[in-house]
Amino acid sequence: LQQQPDLVEQLKNLNIDSAKNYSNTALSFPNENIVDFYRNLIADKLSKLAEIDYKVIYEALETVNSLEKGDLSIPIPRILRGKKGVNPREINHEWAAQLSNKDSEFYIPFIKTCKAAEIFIAFYFDTDFLIKNTIPLVASKKENYGSMKLVENKRIIIEFSSPNIAKPFHAGHLRSTIIGGFLTNLYRFMGWDVVSMNYLGDWGKQFGLLAIGFEKYGSEELLVSDPINHLFEVYVKINADVTKEKEEGIFTEDDPESTNNKARLYFRRMEDGDEQALKIWARFRELSIEKYIDTYARLNIEYDVYAGESQVPKEKMDEALKLMHEKNLIHEDKGAKLIDLTKFNKKLGKTLVTKSDGTSLYLTRDVGGAIARYEQYKFDKMIYVIAMQQDLHTAQFFEILKQLGFEWANRLEHVNFGMVQGMSTRKGTVVFLDNILNDTRDKMHEVMQKNEAKYNQIAEPEKVADLVGVSAVMIQDMQAKRINNYEFKWERMLSFEGDTGPYLQYAHSRLRSVERNAGALFDDLKTTDVDFSLLKDECAGNLIRIIAQFPDVLRVAMKNHEPSTICTYLFRLSHQVSSCYDILWVAGQEKEVALARLALYSSARQTLYNGMRILGLTPVERM
Q: Which stretch binds ligand ARG (CB under 6 A): 157-165, 233-241, 374-382, 425-433?
A: 157-165
CB 302 within 8 A of CB 291: no
Given candidates 110, 120, 379, 384, which one binds ligand ARG under the rule CB under 6 A?
Answer: 384
Judged by CB under 6 A, the residue of 201, 213, 461, 501 near ligand ARG is: 201
Q: Shortest distance, CB of residue 408 to ligand ARG, whole angstroms?
A: 16
| Beta strand extents in 82-140 (DSSP E only) | 111-117, 120-125
Closest distance to ligand ARG from the beta carbon of 475 (Å): 24
Rounded to a whole number of angstroms, the minimum distance from the CB of residue 199 to ligand ARG is 5
Q: Tell me the C-alpha distance between 530 and 524, whole Å.
A: 10
Among candidate residues 69, 112, 115, 167, the one labeled active-site is 167
For ligand ARG, give the closer residue by CB, 305 or 593: 305
- Residue with the CB atom nearest ligand ARG in the bound state: 201
Q: Which is nearer to ligand ARG, 201 or 227 (CB)?
A: 201
Q: How far apart are CA 9 and CA 12, in angstroms?
A: 5
- Which residues, 6 or more positions from 591, have their beta carbon under 8 angstroms from its beta carbon? 521
First to last CA, the chain: 29
548 touches 125 (CB < 8 A): yes
Q: Mask 258-287, x = binds ligand ARG (CB under 6 A)?
A: ------------------------------
Name which of 88 and 201 has its Cβ closer to ligand ARG: 201
3-state secondary structure of 114: strand
Q: Could you tell me how many residues of this chain bind ligand ARG (CB under 6 A)?
A: 8
Question: Quick check: 198 binds ligand ARG (CB under 6 A)?
Answer: no
Q: How far is the CB of 202 from ligand ARG (least distance, A)?
A: 9
Considering beta carbons, is residue 284 or 384 the nearer one to ligand ARG? Answer: 384
Of the pair 265, 395, the CB lying nearest ligand ARG is at: 395
d(CA 13, CA 21) in angstroms, rounded, equals: 15
C-alpha to C-alpha distance for 163 and 417, rounded to whole angstroms: 16
Q: How far apart are CA 308 and CA 594, in angstroms?
A: 55
Task: Candidates 100-108, 159-167, 340-348, 602-610: pick the segment binding ligand ARG (CB under 6 A).
Answer: 159-167
Catalytic residue among 173, 230, 316, 381: 173
**Single-letter amino acid, residue 182:** F
CB nearer to ligand ARG: pick between 228 and 386? 386
Cα 263 to Cα 205: distance, rounded to the nearest angstrom = 7
- Quick one: which of 164, 396, 479, 618 contacts ligand ARG (CB under 6 A)? 164
Catalytic residue at 561? Answer: no
Q: Which of 4, 162, 435, 505 binds ligand ARG (CB under 6 A)?
A: 162
Kindly state whether residue 366 participates in binding ligand ARG, applying the rule CB under 6 A: yes
What's the rounded Cα separation, in Å, for the pair 205 and 457? Answer: 53
Binding test (CB under 6 A) with ligand ARG, winner from 166, 183, 211, 386: 386
> What is the closest distance, in whole angstroms, from the C-beta atom of residue 428 to ligand ARG in the complex?
21
170 catalytic residue (yes or no): yes
3-state secondary structure 597-608: HHHHHHHHHHHH
What is the closest distance, in whole angstroms, from the C-beta atom of residue 282 to ligand ARG in the complex? 18
Q: 306 or 581, CB closer to ligand ARG?
A: 306
Determine, following the binding rule CB under 6 A, whether residue 364 of this chain makes contact with ligand ARG.
no
**What is the spatial distance between Cα 432 and Cα 203, in angstroms, rounded to a whole number?**
19
Q: Which residue type is seen at 608?
A: L
**Residue 582, SS3?**
coil
Of 174 and 321, the one with the shorter C-beta distance to ligand ARG is 174
Q: How far is the CB of 214 from ligand ARG (least distance, A)?
A: 21
Half-sphere CA count of 142, side-chain side, radius 13 A:
4
Asked whether 583 and 539 are in contact (CB, 8 A), the reply is yes
Residue 174 near residue 440 (C-beta atoms within 8 A)? no
Between CA 493 and CA 441 the distance in angstroms is 12
> Does 199 sit near ligand ARG (CB under 6 A)?
yes
Task: For residue 98, state whether it binds ligand ARG (rule: CB under 6 A).
Answer: no
Region binding ligand ARG by CB under 6 A among candidate stretches 60-68, 70-78, 158-166, 285-293: 158-166
Q: From residue 320 to residue 359, what is the string marking binding to ligand ARG with x (rule CB under 6 A)? A: ----------------------------------------
Annotated catalytic residue, options 45, 132, 141, 170 = 170
- Helix residue ranges per DSSP H, 248-335: 259-271, 275-298, 314-326
Known catalytic residue: 167? yes
Nearest to 167 by CA among 196, 197, 210, 198: 210
Query: Strand locations in 66-152, DSSP E?
Result: 72-75, 111-117, 120-125
Rounded to an integer, what distance in angstroms lies between the CA atom of residue 360 and that of residue 340? Answer: 18
CB atoms within 10 A of CB 548: 27
Q: Which is nearer to ligand ARG, 201 or 611 (CB)?
A: 201
Rounded Cα distance, 413 and 129, in Å: 40
Catalytic residue ranges: 167, 170, 173
Q: Where on the chain is the footprint of ligand ARG (CB under 6 A)?
A: 159, 162, 164, 199, 201, 366, 384, 386
